[in-house]
Amino acid sequence: MKGNNVLIEGKNLTKVFGFGGNKTTAVDNVSFAFHEGEIISIVGESGSGKTTLAKLIMGLLKESAGTIEYMGKPRRLKRHSDRRKYWKHIQAIFQDPFSSFNQFYRVEKLLLDCIKLQGEKLTKEEQLRRMKEACSFVNLKYEELHNKYPFELSGGQMQRLMIARIFILHPKLLIADEPTSMVDACSRSTILDMLLKLREENNMTIIFITHDVGLAYYVSDTLYIMEQGKVVEKGPAEEVILNPKHPYTRQLISDVPKIHSEWDLA
């Protein structure tokens, strides 16, 4: 599935929070190149700067240094219309589904906003049809949910609604920040399957953010290992897992006994 066209490329990205004594370098001189249709996992422990990197790519945080090129051109996000255009192509699922919902609005509004972002003129029936389709894609019933407020939903339902949102938007690039953090192991694989199915439909590039190396190995083509803001190792998933070079990667892998036993048998 992985194409040869570079979709988005970051060069020497750095993000520093605060100044003076309490300065934190959350992302430290990170470079990357993500291709069309590629699945990338960014793995690292808590506080290693994964979410910050995701927000830099989303254009939600301003980089302290470095550049990001989208489809071969430096991206421009100065004007609101530029950003709107960018976000039609690049979307995200955030880490915490509970804070991703505005508790004052019904579920319906979230999905309607996505349809509006598409900018197509649609009839009421067509809008409804799309929302229903999106909900059934993530195994939810539109009829039961559309009138509910977010606090009436479970964490898993929230996460699936976030995926329904992506289904409507069908972006070129999806950043999924720990999309399975709130659900049990069984729903976890359903959610992963949904995301993988989405990618099959429109050759979407997916960036998974996770601290689970096993999961990353299972789903992705390419791995980026992050430690304290730096990318310490990157490469094809097989190579990084079977032949880790950096001691931090080795330590991450040794923390997951399941993978070891798998290739002990092989």
Partner 1 sequence: MNSSFRILIKSPKFMFGACTLLAMIGLVLIYPLFNRSDPLEMIALAYQPPDAKLLLGSDNFGRDLFLELIYGIRTSLQVGLIAGVFATAIGLVIGLTSGYIGGMIDNLLTAVTNIFIVIPSFVILILISVSIDSRSSFVTAVIIGVTSWPWTARAVRAQTSSLRNRDHVNIAKISGYSTPRIIVSEILPYIASYVVMAFVLQTASGILSEASISMLGLGPYNTISLGIIMNWALVFEAPVAGAWWAFIPAAISIAMITFSLYMMNTGMDEIFNPKIRS
CB of 68 closer than 8 Å to CB of 56: yes
What is the helix (H) or strand (E) element at residue 16, kind and residue range?
strand 6-17
DSSP 22-91: G-EEEEEEEEEEEETT-EEEEE--TTSSHHHHHHHHHTSS--SEEEEEETTEE---SSHHHHHHHHHHEE
Query: Which one of the spans 89-97, 134-142, 220-228, 239-247 is the region binding partner 1 (CB under 8 A)?
Result: 89-97
Out of 28, 37, 40, 51, which residue is the one contacting Mg ion (CB under 5 A)?
51
Nearer to partner 1 (CB atom), residue 208 or residue 248? 208
Based on the shown chain and the rule CB under 5 A, indicate whether residue 52 belongs to the binding site for Mg ion.
no
Based on the shown chain and the rule CB under 6 A, indicate whether residue 44 belongs to the binding site for ligand ATP.
yes
Angle between the 155-169 and 185-202 helix axes, to the nearest 10 degrees?
A: 0
Q: Please name every residue paired with 91 in a beta bridge, in sequence order, or none if there are none.
A: 174
Nearer to partner 1 (CB atom), residue 116 or residue 197? 116
Based on the shown chain and the rule CB under 6 A, indicate whether residue 26 belongs to the binding site for ligand ATP.
yes
Tell me which residues in 179-218 interact with partner 1 (CB under 8 A): none
Dist CA 70 CA 78 (whole Å):
15
Out of 80, 121, 124, 258, which residue is the one contacting partner 1 (CB under 8 A)?
80
Nearer to partner 1 (CB atom), residue 174 or residue 231? 174
Q: Residues near 76 by Cβ (< 8 Å), separated by ≥ 6?
A: 82
What is the number of residues in the chain? 266
Nearer to Mg ion (CB atom), residue 40 or residue 135? 40
Q: How far is CA 158 from CA 97, 98, 252, in A?
A: 6, 7, 30
Query: Which one of the spans 87-95, 128-136, 149-157, 219-227 is the region binding Mg ion (CB under 5 A)?
Result: 87-95
Dist CA 179 CA 195 (whole Å):
10
Which two tokens mark 13? 């990205």
The CB-of-232 to ligand ATP minimum distance in angstroms stands at 13
Q: Please name every residue paired with 129 in a beta bridge, in sequence order, or none if there are none.
A: none
* Among Mg ion, partner 1, ligand ATP, none, partner that 172 touches (CB below 5 to 8 angstroms by kind): none
Tell me which residues in 193-232 interact with ligand ATP (CB under 6 A): 211
**Interface residues toward Mg ion, by CB under 5 A:** 51, 95
**Interface residues toward ligand ATP, by CB under 6 A:** 17-18, 24, 26, 44, 46-52, 95, 211
**Interface residues toward partner 1, by CB under 8 A:** 55, 58, 60, 80, 83-84, 87-88, 90-92, 94-96, 99-102, 104-105, 110, 113-114, 116-117
